[in-house]
Each structure stands twice: as structure tokens, then as C-alpha cells.
């Protein structure tokens, strides 16, 4: 590459801006045909995908990546099949573009409609998971947006090949060049420049940890929606069914600990702690989970001491912080202080306590008697997602098609002039 990182990014951005104009009027049929073609191409070329991914895994092992990061990076037949299924599911979803949100006739005779439209050009900046390459691209395309993908250096070979596969399939189906592209340099200057290109980009979605969030927020002039990490908590109330609570805690922590919706802190009501903690601790320890507890928890069952920093930690690994709390109010207060606004759950048989928890906890997803692992675009029926927003403006929670659109007013008159 003879270009500077900045020149490389601007070339991609200019092409995306041009493509975005054509995408505004691209038919649903062409978009859906391209998504189905992508699904077929991913399956037919999966041996190439595994070969590229093996290079990334080998390099990651050599750099000493943690088991959690390697798990995020790894592609296998099940994960490639899931990406292909995501393409098909998004193709089956209604096209949001052109949807009339409101419509009415004004007293002066003007006919007013608010309709859903694409945002334009979206940049997606993400870290280890190569499946985000496909998930982000298909959602942006279905919502009529051009997308510039900026994956992490750990997954460079996987991301570039996946982009090539889906771009080739989309082009053959009639999608304009530049609609889907990937930044091919690992130079961080490329990312810093991308988030300042207001003349080309309408939105950037950073999907990663707090480090990525802070570094981009410090330099960005393009609007950002953060798909940030999750410090997720489960509170086991004094009225909880303890077997059900054990199942929910175990699933939330162990089913996929590297996911952002995995459990990181367990809160237990003091009145049931002596009965519940030994039960759940044995089960978790048998699954190789390291427990880090406060003084009250350690008095009940053996575990390592938790530091103050543990309550704010997104481990993404088989580590769980454990705290015994005085009551429901104390649990809500703990979540308010240490939670990241992602996913929180209460296990309870009390309707009043469930309702108080739902009202008092400020998060994108609040659960009653269910695992936090359900915070996911597929599980919520959105097809795929570009991430889970922990912000409150424009989009919150799993971001599917509607989160990638805006609206405009269309006003139809008959020679109307304002007096």
C-alpha cells in the first residue's frame, strides 16, 4: 500500500458516500437477493475462511492472547453457519426504508408523512470478533446504508477475506461498488482519521472495551454510538427459587463467558446467602470459575478476596465477583454505582420486588428470572445486531435495522403558500 493511512481511509469514505446515494433507492429485492447470495458464498467458501482464521489464531497465540480473546477470534463451522443464517434472517425481515411512521392531513390541507430513511454512511470499529464483519455489513445494507468496517488487527486476515466474500456476492446481485468496504491497514492513525470525516460519514459505532471507547471519544467529530462492554449483574432475592437461581447464575456466567452479556458480579440477599452460596459456589467451581467475594461471602464459603476494582471489572473469563447485600435497595444501589448499563437480572418470586427492580435499575436490558445471556439481536428477533448500545440517545440495547435508520418528513401540497 503506497497510500498513507489517512489517504486510504478517505478513498474508502469517498466511495462509500457515492454508494450511499444509490443505496437510498435500491430495491428491497436487490438487497434481499444480495443477502441470500452472501449466505451461500460464506458456506461455499468456508474452507478459505478457516484457513485465514487459522493464521489469525496462530498469530494471536504467539502474542499471548487470553483464552477469552482467542474464543472471540475463532471461527468454526457453527459460527460460519450462524453468519450465513444471519444473512438469511435479515433478508426475511421487512425492509424498514420507506416505512411511514406517522401520517396525517393538517388543517391547512397539507399532507404530512414521517418516513424511515437510511442514515447514510456508517463506520463500524470493532475488536476481536470476525463475525461482526458480516453482522454489521448485512444490517447496514438492508437499512440502505454504506458501511466502512474497521476490525481489530487480531482478526485482520479473517476480516479482509469475509469482506471480500460478501462484497463479491453483493456486487454480483446489483449492489453498488463502495457500499461495503474494509480498512486494510492496521495503523491506528486510520481509525483516528475515520472518526473525523464528517463530510463523508454520518455515524461511527465503536464496538469494544472501555479503551476503544475512550480513545475514539477523545478525537471523534463524527457522532458516535458506543456498543460498549458489559459489567452485568444478577441479584438473587430472598424470595428466589434457589434451584432456578443456581441455573440462571450458572448459565449467565458459564455458557459463554467471553460475551459482553455474561455475568460478572453476583449479588445475594443476606437472608438466603448461607443456603444459596455453598450450592452455587460448588457448581461454579466445578466449572473452573474463580470466585472473588466480599468478607460476608467468604465467611460462608471459600473463595478469594475481592478488591474494590472487581466490582467494576468486565472479566470476559471464568471469574465471578460475589457480594452479599443487605436488601433489594442495596442491590439496586450497587448496580447503579458499578453497572455499565448493559444487562441486569433479578431472581425472585416476589412480584413487588421484581417491579421495583425493573423500575429502579437503569440498563439497556433488565431481566426477571432469566439469564443475562439473552441480550442479543438474534434472541430479540432482530436478525443480527451491530452491537448493544449502553447509551440512551438514538439507540439503546441490541441495535438492529431500525437503529440504523433516521426519519424525514415528506409534505405534499397543492400550491400551498404560507400566509
Nearest in space to 377 (alpha carbons), one of 368, 365, 391: 365
Q: Does domain 5-227+386-412 have CATH number 3.30.70.1020?
A: no
User: What is the Cα Rg of the chain in Å?
Assistant: 23
Nearest in space to 124 (alpha carbons), one of 39, 27, 212, 43: 212
Domain borders along the chain are: 5-227+386-412, 232-374
79, pLDDT greater than 60:
yes
Q: Considering the entire predicted model, what is its pTM?
A: 0.87
> Fold match between 5-227+386-412 and 232-374?
no
Looking at residue 71, its pLDDT comes to 86
126-135, 268-277, 339-348: least confidently modelled range:
126-135
State the Cα–Cα distance between residues 391 and 152, nearest whole angstrom. 23
1, pLDDT greater than 70:
no
- Reported confidence tier of residue 355, pLDDT bands at 50, 70, 90: very high
280, pLDDT greater than 90:
yes
Q: What is the mean pLDDT of residues 312-332?
A: 96
283-297 pLDDT per residue, tens: 999 999 999 999 999
**CATH no. of 232-374:** 3.40.309.10
Looking at residue 337, its pLDDT comes to 97
The CA distances from residue 204 to 120, 124, 238, 398, in Å, are 11, 6, 43, 16
209, pLDDT greater than 80:
no
What is the percent of the chain with per-residue pLDDT over 90, rounded to a whole number?
87
Q: Chain centroid to CA 235: how far?
A: 23
Please name the residue ranges forming H helices in 74-143.
77-92, 131-142
72-76, 318-322, 345-349: least confidently modelled range:
72-76
Looking at residue 74, its pLDDT comes to 94
Q: Which three cell numbers stand for residue 170?
A: 453483493
Looking at residue 393, its pLDDT comes to 85
3-class SS at 204? strand
Q: Mean pLDDT for the chain?
A: 95
Amino acid at each position: 500500500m503506497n497510500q498513507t493511512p489517512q489517504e486510504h481511509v478517505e478513498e474508502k469514505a469517498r466511495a462509500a458516500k457515492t454508494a450511499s446515494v444509490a443505496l437510498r433507492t435500491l430495491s428491497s429485492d436487490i438487497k434481499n437477493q444480495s443477502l441470500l447470495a452472501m449466505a451461500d458464498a460464506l458456506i461455499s467458501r468456508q474452507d478459505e475462511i478457516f484457513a485465514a482464521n487459522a493464521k489469525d489464531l496462530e498469530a494471536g497465540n504467539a502474542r499471548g492472547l487470553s483464552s477469552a480473546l482467542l474464543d472471540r477470534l475463532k471461527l468454526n463451522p457453527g459460527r460460519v453457519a450462524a453468519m450465513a443464517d444471519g444473512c438469511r434472517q435479515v433478508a426475511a425481515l421487512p425492509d424498514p426504508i420507506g416505512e411511514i411512521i406517522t401520517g396525517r392531513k393538517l388543517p391547512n390541507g397539507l399532507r404530512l408523512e414521517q418516513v424511515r430513511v437510511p442514515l447514510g454512511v456508517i463506520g463500524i470499529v470493532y475488536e476481536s470478533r470476525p463475525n461482526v464483519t458480516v453482522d454489521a455489513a448485512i444490517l447496514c445494507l438492508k437499512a440502505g446504508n454504506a458501511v466502512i468496517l474497521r476490525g481489530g488487527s487480531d482478526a485482520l486476515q479473517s476480516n479482509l477475506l469475509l469482506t471480500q466474500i460478501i462484497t463479491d456476492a453483493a456486487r454480483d446481485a446489483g449492489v453498488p461498488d463502495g457500499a461495503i468496504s474494509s480498512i486494510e491497514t492496521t495503523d491506528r492513525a486510520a481509525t483516528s482519521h475515520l472518526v473525523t470525516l464528517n463530510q463523508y460519514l454520518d455515524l461511527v459505532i465503536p464496538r469494544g472495551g472501555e479503551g476503544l471507547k475512550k480513545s475514539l471519544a477523545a478525537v471523534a467529530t463524527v457522532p458516535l454510538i458506543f456498543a460498549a462492554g458489559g459489567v452485568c449483574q444478577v441479584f438473587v432475592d430472598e424470595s428466589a427459587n434457589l434451584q432456578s437461581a443456581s441455573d440462571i447464575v450458572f448459565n449467565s456466567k458459564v455458557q459463554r463467558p467471553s460475551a459482553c452479556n455474561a455475568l460478572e458480579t453476583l449479588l445475594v440477599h443476606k437472608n438466603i446467602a448461607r443456603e444459596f452460596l455453598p450450592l452455587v459456589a460448588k457448581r461454579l467451581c466445578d466449572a473452573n470459575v474463580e470466585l472473588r467475594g466480599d468478607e460476608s461471602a467468604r465467611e460462608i464459603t471459600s473463595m478469594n478476596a475481592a478488591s474494590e476494582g472487581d466490582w467494576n471489572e468486565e472479566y470476559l473469563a471464568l471469574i465471578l465477583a460475589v457480594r452479599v447485600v443487605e436488601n433489594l435497595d442495596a442491590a439496586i444501589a450497587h448496580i447503579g454505582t458499578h453497572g455499565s448499563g448493559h444487562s441486569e437480572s433479578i431472581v425472585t418470586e416476589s412480584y413487588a420486588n421484581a417491579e421495583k427492580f425493573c423500575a429502579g435499575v437503569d440498563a439497556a436490558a433488565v431481566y426477571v428470572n432469566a439469564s443475562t445471556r439473552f441480550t442479543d439481536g438474534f434472541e430479540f428477533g432482530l436478525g443480527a445486531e451491530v452491537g448493544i448500545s449502553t447509551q440512551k440517545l438514538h439507540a439503546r440495547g441490541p441495535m438492529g435495522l431500525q437503529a440504523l435508520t433516521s426519519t424525514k418528513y415528506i409534505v405534499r401540497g397543492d400550491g400551498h403558500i404560507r400566509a
